[in-house]
Structure 1
Amino acid sequence: MAPTFPKPIKIIFLSILLLIKIKITYGQPNQSILVFYMQDVGKGPNATVLPIIGIKDKVWSYNTFGTIFAVDDPITLTSSPTSTQIGSAQGIITVTSQDGANVNIILSIVFNNAQYSRSTLEIQGTSRQHENLRELSVVGGTGRFRFARGFIVFETISYDASNNQSIIRLTITLETP
């Protein structure tokens, strides 16, 4: 003979099972991969990344511990600098390792195109700047990317040392609720 349970316990048990089913069915995040290009210019009248402060009597550079840079790089659809601009990467880069190998990045990708207008992605982490592929965290977002989590891979696809100009592919893997 099967055990019998009082009616309130049966109701509670069935309610818990229903909530678990709802969470499994409807609580799965959506994953997407976005690819954009960052146009980074460090010299000249159209510079988009500039040192703003550093250690007194030291050269302010990407290899000098303590140097802090302000960034406002265009984000484009393709690697061409004349490609459609869909936003900008705005934030701060700080050289945080004594040997200059690592920088800490706090960056907001601010979109201005129709598809993602008024949305942002928030990027944060340590970038091993002498490596071609650098992975950082996506820690949040606004608008279409509200509650986003994931990671971003920065890949330098070209660098012109004479103009201090880089084109960086941004491959963003996101999970949104």
Structure 2
Amino acid sequence: MSNFLQFTTFSLLIIYYFTLPSLIQATFGRIIEDEEAQQLGLGLKKEKLSHFKFYWHDIVSGPRPTSVKVVSPPKNSSTAFGLLNMIDNPLTVGPKLSSKLVGRAQGFYASACQKDIGLLMAMNFAFMEGKYNGSTIIVLGRNMVFNKVREMPVIGGSGLFRFARGYVQARTNTFNAKNGDATVQYDCYVMHY
């Protein structure tokens, strides 16, 4: 009888050892099949590539700036290393601030280079026009401001841009050296469902 009890105990331990991890994993995460994704309303259809072109207006001067310095750089920094600006910048169809508003760039940029003028950009392009109203594209990357073209990754989005990925290219359109205001053309290439 003791052999039977030992065998049963050993068998139960083996079963427990091999099934417990899968039971724990099943409660933590799981693969969602296409049919279930449709039932959950995740919006996963055929993936497509979209291109958006708009102008980003960084207004640091005047009575209503859209970019506000939160942290000043040390006085001895030639690159403004440590500078941090919060932004709520208009996104327009054309280079003039008076052109049609299609969204806002909300987030921050920080001077992250000690030897060059380079920014860490973290921003949401929050759209407010047409079928994209309420959807966002998230950009996070390095912006070497004196390069003619700067490329930064699109790391996600919301609304029509769930599961988004891609990149943006930034080109300075105008920069006012006296007051610091800038207009930058953004070409955004984004894969989404």
Deviation above 4 Å: which 4+ runs of structure 1? Answer: none
Aligned partner of 2:65 in structure 1 is 47
Q: Structure 1 regions of 5+ residues with no counterpart?
A: 1-25
What is the aligned-residue identity percentage?
A: 27
TM-score by length of 2: 0.72
SS in 2 for 1:144: helix
Structure scoring higher RCO (CA < 8 A, sep ≥ 6) equals: 1
1:72 aligns with 2:88: yes
SS in 1 for 2:70: strand
Counterpart of 1:58, as a letter, is: K
Deviation at 1:29, TM superposition (A): 2.8
1:138 aligns with 2:154: yes
For residues 32 and 114 of structure 1, do their structure 2 counterparts lie closer, same or farther at Cα, with a shift above 3 Å needed?
closer
Task: Please report the RMSD computed on the Cα atoms of aligned residues, expressed in angstroms.
Answer: 2.2
Residue of structure 2 aligned with 1:32, choices 35, 41, 50: 50
Q: Is the 8 A contact 1:54 1:60 kept in 2?
A: no
Q: Is the 8 A contact 1:148 1:176 kept in 2?
A: yes
C-alpha deviations, 1:46-67, integer Å up to 9, x for none?
Answer: 2111210135x52799x31111
Aligned partner of 1:165 in structure 2 is 181
More helix per residue: 2
Count residues with an aligned counterpart.
151
1:58 aligns with 2:82: no
Aligned partner of 2:98 in structure 1 is 82
SS in 1 for 2:151: strand
TM-score by length of 1: 0.78
